Amino acid sequence: MQLRKWLSIMLAVVGMAGMLTGCGAESASQSTSQGGKTKEKVLNIYGWTDYFAPSVLDDFEKKYGVKIVYDAYSNNQELLVKMQAGPTKYDLIQPTDYMVSKMSKLGMLAELDKANIPNLSNLQSNFRAPFFDPENQYSVVYTTGITGIAYNKKFVKTKPESWQDLWNPQYKERVILVIDERDVLGMALKKNGFSNSTKDEQQLSIAYADLKTLMPGVMSLDSDMIRQKFIANDAWIGTVWSGDALYIQKSNPDVEFVIPKEGAAIWADTMAIPKGAKNKQLAEQFINYLLEPEVSARNYEAIGYGDPNEKAMALHSEAYRSNPILNMSKEQLERTEWFTDMDEAQPLYNRYWEMLKSWRD
């Protein structure tokens, strides 16, 4: 849907400044037409698949009199390509931690007006100064998770302990991988004892060669339908984001989640606003709404991901608060590693990823 043009509206607003002073400031959720009538505004979101509770989106639309258009992408590379292609309609995006760093360096993100996001104080303190955006200048942490191994214990009789278990020939054509460059290459790097953010071409070459031997046994590279494939028992084992693992488990209790002994990636997805977004204030209003404790608890209970909202914790169910997937032990967390921006090494990652995908095709 195309966004409405604002030039004539702003001229009208300037001319009516005195009237607005007496009547109160115009809400971010409304625009004034030349005829004095209000027109519905549209908040265009470009985010991960199934990343908001539908009821939460519906309630925001009703409360603020707006319409939400929600488009989804499968990985950060897809997001970056879309944003680099030129001006887009989107008001809110959800880049992962390292992508926030990259996009801010490229001048692609708008600075947040924190006066419009007072509920930012509800976040846990460690999320109010993340390493990739220490002052929350461009982003707000939406959720965190870990990329580990999900497996169906009906078919995978021995609990996986290593990434090497994905290469087990017994699971040929029942292995599934998220379609994400950093997750897939990072998994193979960790398997071989390297950092998931190495810039060493020899180490990347080793990881790539290892992945080539896995590809014949992989049923698909998929992030959008990975939940359904595990729920339907089509996929038996694979790389899965922790929140998706919890979602799968609700419908298929035979699916378990583990962090391999070699370690795994820990990450944070965020909410950010593209530079030049036409509804920046409305996007900030939406972020603030999501940080309301009651809304936050309802949203994360539905999507199955970790809630960074400290004031929402008391509103969560006991099952949510005690779930081991959402509450990793100190020992497990010590085996995780954050992704970092690749800077000059990014073309190297891109090349190996494209070769891997083309080799599979």
Output the domain CATH number for residue 330: 3.40.190.10
User: Is residue 2 in some structural domain?
Assistant: no
Cα dihedral sign for 279, 280, 284, 285?
A: negative
Q: What is the pLDDT of residues 291-334, one digit of tens each?
A: 999 999 999 999 999 999 999 999 999 999 999 999 888 899 99
The domain of 231 spans: 145-267+323-360
Tell me the pairing of strands 66-73 and 92-93. Answer: unpaired
Within a domain: residue 191?
yes
Q: Residue 254: inside a domain, yes or no?
A: yes
Q: Could you tell me the pLDDT band of residue 38, with boundaries at 50, 70 and 90?
A: low
In a domain, 153, yes or no: yes
Inform me whether the pLDDT recorded for 26 exceeds 50: no
Which pLDDT tens digit goes with each residue over 222-247?
998 999 999 999 999 999 999 999 99
Residues 164 and 286 in one domain: no
Interatomic CA distance for residues 157 and 118, integer angstroms: 50
Report yes or no: 211 and 185 within 8 Å, Cβ to Cβ.
yes
**Strand 139-152 to 237-241 pairing:** antiparallel
Do 64 and 43 share a structural domain? yes
| 209 found inside a domain | yes
Q: Please write the tens of the pLDDT for every residue from 257-299.
A: 999 999 999 999 999 999 999 999 999 999 999 999 999 999 9
217, pLDDT greater than 70: yes
For residues 165 and 301, state if they share a domain.
no
How do beta strands 38-48 and 30-32 pair? antiparallel
φ/ψ of 181, rounded to 5, equals -55, -50
Same domain, 79 and 117: yes
Q: Is residue 241 part of a domain?
A: yes
Same domain? For 93 and 137 the reply is yes
247 marked among binding-site residues: no
Number of independent structural domains in the chain: 2
